[in-house]
Amino acid sequence: MSLKLATAKLATAVFVAVAVTSAPAFACMGPTVIFQDSFQTLDPAWASIFDGTIAASGGQAQVTVPAGEIGGAYYGNKFVDSGDFCVDMVSSDPTTAGGIVFGFTSDGWYQFEAGDNQQAAVTQITDEGQLSPVSWRAAPALKTGANVTNTLRVTWKGTSASTYINGQPFVTFNIPAFQGSKIGLIIDNGGSVPMTYNFSNLKVTNVP
């Protein structure tokens, strides 16, 4: 083997290794890890939101919600009142939406949803009903098509939260200061069949 060919192969191998080990591409930024899940097996602290179910294997969480329902799962063994939360998300149907839950308490939660024909929003679920801190709007950074990976990120601290899609800022909005809140994953399935989303590379750090 020539030295030139060997060098080229080594460079390719290094590039592939870096690409694999640096995922997700637009990860949360804080230096202190608060929580992460590799989803090799299902942590028993994950619990259902409404009729959602969660399974995990091989580095991915599979969250499934029945037709026409909103649901998912939250992590019940960690309070995260402030954080930088990122996750990779894959859906087989770009006309539905899924995403991140934060500020989850017995009174409700916030959900950062993306999908739904290249749109995204922030919805607040309360005992009184549903609110829209960030109404549905175009999200140019969102990749379209079935089975593509999008990285969602939300940072929140005090009374401010900021959302990002594939490393690009989406919307900053006001929130209450949380106390005793948790994080989770959500699907908004407006379709006529059950929907499963795959989530991976879930991590929460401190806010940088």
CATH number of residue 105's parent domain = 2.60.120.560
What's the Rg (C-alpha) of the chain? 18
Q: Which residue has the higher pLDDT, 1 or 138?
A: 138
Residue 6 lies in a domain: no
Instruction: Give the Cα separation of 73 and 26 in Å (integer).
Output: 23
- 24 pLDDT band, cuts 50/70/90, is low
Residue 2 lies in a domain: no
Residue 110 lies in a domain: yes
Residue 174 lies in a domain: yes
Question: Lowest-confidence range among 10-14, 25-29, 73-77?
Answer: 10-14
Residue 197 lies in a domain: yes
Number of domains in the chain: 1
Residue 85 lies in a domain: yes
Number of neighbouring beta carbons within 10 Å of residue 194:
15
Residue 7 has a pLDDT of: 36
Q: Residue 87's closest CA among 39, 32, 138, 144?
A: 39
Instruction: Give the Cα separation of 24 and 149 in Å (integer).
Output: 10
Domain extent at residue 43: 26-205
- 19 pLDDT band, cuts 50/70/90, is very low
Q: What is the mean pLDDT of residues 102-124?
A: 95
Residue 167 lies in a domain: yes
Residue type, 76: G
Instruction: Give the Cα separation of 21 and 12 in Å (integer).
Output: 14
Residue 11 lies in a domain: no
Q: What percent of the chain has pLDDT over 70?
A: 88
